[in-house]
Amino acid sequence: MTDYQNRTVFLNGDYMFAKDAKLSIFDRGLLFADAVYEGLGLMDGKIADFELHMQRLERSLAELEMPNPLAREAYRDVFQRLATENDIQNGFFYLQITRGTADRNYLYSTEMQPNVFAFVQPQKPVKERNTHLGVKMHAVPDLRWKRRDIKTTNLLGQVMAKKAAHDAGAFDALLVDADGRVTEAASRSFFIVKDNTIIAPPVTEEILHGITRQVIVNVAETDALETAFRWFTLDDVLAADEAFLTGSSTTVVPVIQIDEHIIGDGKPGKVALRLREEYLAMTAAS
């Protein structure tokens, strides 16, 4: 029995050991990936960017005609209790809501009762990780479904991309669509910096609306750093002065290499490191 099986989790209003948490094989999240999720960082006992994550969760549910089973503050209570009962100060919260349980049928009723579960898993504090030293990425085709703005559990494209990146010795995969545009990483948002301008893909249905991405953009604009939202290619990335990733569990991660190509001078960029420190300071003060 591994440790995570004895961790306390939340399922449909109850708290229990993970080994005792059960869902039916007729759950639509299992049968169709008919489910949405959120992942939130836990940093020194504080839930990062809670309100923004809840806004995105509510939007994802609305886009799929799913009712929201809990109020916002009820989710906060769940997260805080999970952190306390599992004695975790630094980690990652996972929350999933499925449409519910019914006989297998592509059609669904909007009256179905959702299933909701959550857990927290421990992670090293961000400042104790070495991602600030810069990471390598591996470019792969973007094979995901078209509605990437909805945070669903349909993640097989990302799983395949992550495996390819791992096999290439890379930290994450850089996704490139059929038109040659860079969209994002397999599990993070992606930025480049060119001539002191921070550049990110525009917010459309073709990318996930990353929460840490949104906060970092706000930080940059508050600091009077120039930002631009436009599509760019892999060639643009390779010619950039800097590149970096953002994500709920990793905050800001400088990118120093794409496959065999070095980005900038091969060292973490000053813009990425500045944004990382400001984000961590802001989270600590919240």
Q: Give tens-digit pLDDT for 67-98.
A: 999 999 999 999 999 999 999 999 999 999 99
Nearest to 93 by CA among 147, 57, 131, 135: 57
Helix axes of 211-222 and 50-63: crossing angle, nearest 10 degrees: 130
Query: Which residues share a beta bridge with 198?
Result: 193, 227
Question: Token pair for residue 231?
Answer: 């599509």
pLDDT of residue 173: 98
- pLDDT, residue 256, reads 98
Active site residues: 151
pLDDT at 269: 97
Element (H, E) at 47: strand 46-47
Average confidence score pLDDT of the chain = 96
pLDDT digits 0-9 by tens, 114-167:
999 999 999 999 989 999 999 999 999 999 999 999 999 999 999 999 999 999
* Tokens 């038109």 sit on residue: 179
Structural domains in the chain plus CATH codes: 3-123 (3.30.470.10), 131-285 (3.20.10.10)
- pTM for the whole thing? 0.95
The pLDDT, as a whole number, for residue 1 is: 43
pLDDT band per the 50, 70, 90 thresholds, residue 2: low
Cβ–Cβ < 8 Å for 65, 90? no
pLDDT tens string 237-269:
999 999 999 999 999 999 999 999 999 999 999
CB atoms inside a 10 Å sphere around CB 141: 14
Please compute the mean of the pLDDT values over residues 165-175 and round it to a whole number. 98
Query: Rounded distance, CA 38 to CA 170, Å?
Result: 25
| Confidence class for position 284, pLDDT limits 50, 70, 90 | confident
Question: Average pLDDT, stretch 41-48?
Answer: 96
Pair of tokens at residue 6: 């004895």
